[in-house]
Amino acid sequence: MQRPMAKRVSVWLWEEDYPHSLSEEELRNPATVLQQVFSQYSLADCQYLLWEWQHCHYRPFSFSFGEGLVTLFRFRKVLNKLLDVAWLIARDMDDGHLLRVCTEEKGRHIWERDYFLALKRENLPTLGDTLKRMLSDGGGLQWWKNILYHWWGMGISHEQLDDGTRTNPMDEIPQFIQLALMIEIQYVIAMALEYSPGENRFAALAYLSIEEGRKPVKTLMKIFSKWEYEELKEKLRQLYYLLNFCMDDNGNLSEPNGIIHTLHKIIALASLLAKNGDDYFLQPENFSFPYEGLGCFWQHDHHLPFHHLSDEEYERPLLAIRSFDLPGLHRGLHRFTVYIASDRTLKLDEEVIAFVGLFQQLERLLEALYLLVIQRIRIEY
């Protein structure tokens, strides 16, 4: 007599939370999920796709990277699986299971090798507790899946584009950072399992598409064409003034999100340039581009006030670019964005004083990059 197939029995079922996206095999061995995910997506892929998805409704077009909505839909399914695995890990902390492989030595090696948006080095010994707190923020597993559903609706329709009255970063920015944290913790676990990620399929860095990353100088030229150098520095000053002004009664950021997005791209472009050897800067093809489509990013009668560069850096701006703590600039800009979105009561504390240094460094970076571009660029008319 043939034995009937046993029905799937939930031993975790609690209210609406249950890892519905996982198969029986994946429930028994969630490590296979991490291996499968990070064979298709590198850490930079996940960071980039999450960043673009969360920001696509701030700009005048829908999600258009890769295969457009197909890419976004697949990534949403991946995030649902990672949320389910995170929920399993958080409820299995007494046994340790996957967390046992994350030794301090392995965690330190992974930290030094990869760039993390949200995970901090001091979190490495307590990944399980950090993951549990992340899931508990809001309303549990199903609440986080509803966030993805909400973002999906905003990311796929031109009718949903923000007109400056709907976007509330007091909610969305912390959610983005928490989802990034969840991804990064599971990436560390996957790497501690001695699993090597596949080739980076989507992103050059967390904030750049493949095309943007292949030709960083051309991407910089397009940015300086959209905003002239002085206008970009003025936008930077206006962004800093948000500590005191410009937030409406609903806490909306609206337009400034665009400049924040661009500044992250500029920092990422500087990271690519800083990693290149001197030979890269001696090759004319890396700095020669056809005139069409580049716009006009510089005029001979433009005055160039460089307030932060030394004489040596003015002559050799690459030295200045290589001297920055570029991951630190990313994190500082994130902290600033969260601060202005969640606390409009200005207090002269260490955090606010640190923002002064952050914006001085951002202005110095703009100076160094713009100087590098106008010194080396060759336009083919």
Each residue's pLDDT expressed in tens, for the chain with a length of 381 residues: 444 443 434 444 444 567 888 888 888 888 889 989 998 898 988 988 888 777 765 554 566 666 777 888 889 899 999 999 988 888 775 555 677 777 777 777 888 788 888 888 888 888 888 888 888 876 788 888 888 887 777 655 555 444 444 455 445 667 888 899 999 999 998 888 877 666 677 777 888 888 888 888 888 888 887 776 777 888 888 888 777 654 444 444 455 667 888 898 899 999 999 988 888 888 887 777 766 555 555 555 454 556 677 778 888 888 889 999 888 898 888 888 877 766 555 565 677 778 888 998 999 899 899 888 887 776 655
Residues 142, 275, single domain; the answer is no
Residues 225, 199, single domain; the answer is no
Strand pairing report for 208-209 and 288-290: unpaired
Residue 144 lies in a domain: yes
Enter the tokens of residue 50.
């999450």
Residue 336 lies in a domain: yes
The residue assigned the tokens 């001085």 is 360
Residues 227, 143, single domain; the answer is no
- Residue 296: what pLDDT? 59
Residue among 31, 38, 21, 326 at smallest CA distance from 202: 38
Residue 2 lies in a domain: no
- Residue 175: what pLDDT? 81
- Residue 269: what pLDDT? 93
Residues 285, 332, single domain; the answer is yes
Three-state secondary-structure class, residue 250: coil
Residue 15 lies in a domain: no
Cα distances from 99 to residues 102, 162, 177, 366, in angstroms, run 6, 40, 22, 41
Residues 157, 225, single domain; the answer is no
Residues 272, 247, single domain; the answer is yes
Task: Give the H or E element holding residue 176.
Answer: helix 169-192
Last residue of a domain, one of 205, 229, 260: 205
Last residue of a domain, one of 205, 234, 260: 205
Residues 290, 330, single domain; the answer is yes
- Residue 258: what pLDDT? 72
- Residue 6: what pLDDT? 39
What is the number of structural domains in the chain? Answer: 2
Q: CB within 8 A of 311, min separation 6: which ones?
A: none
Identity of the residue numbered 300: H
Identity of the residue numbered 316: R
Q: What residues make up the domain containing 219?
A: 211-380
Q: CB within 8 A of 77, min separation 6: which ones?
A: 21
Beta carbons of 298 and 376 less than 8 angstroms apart: no
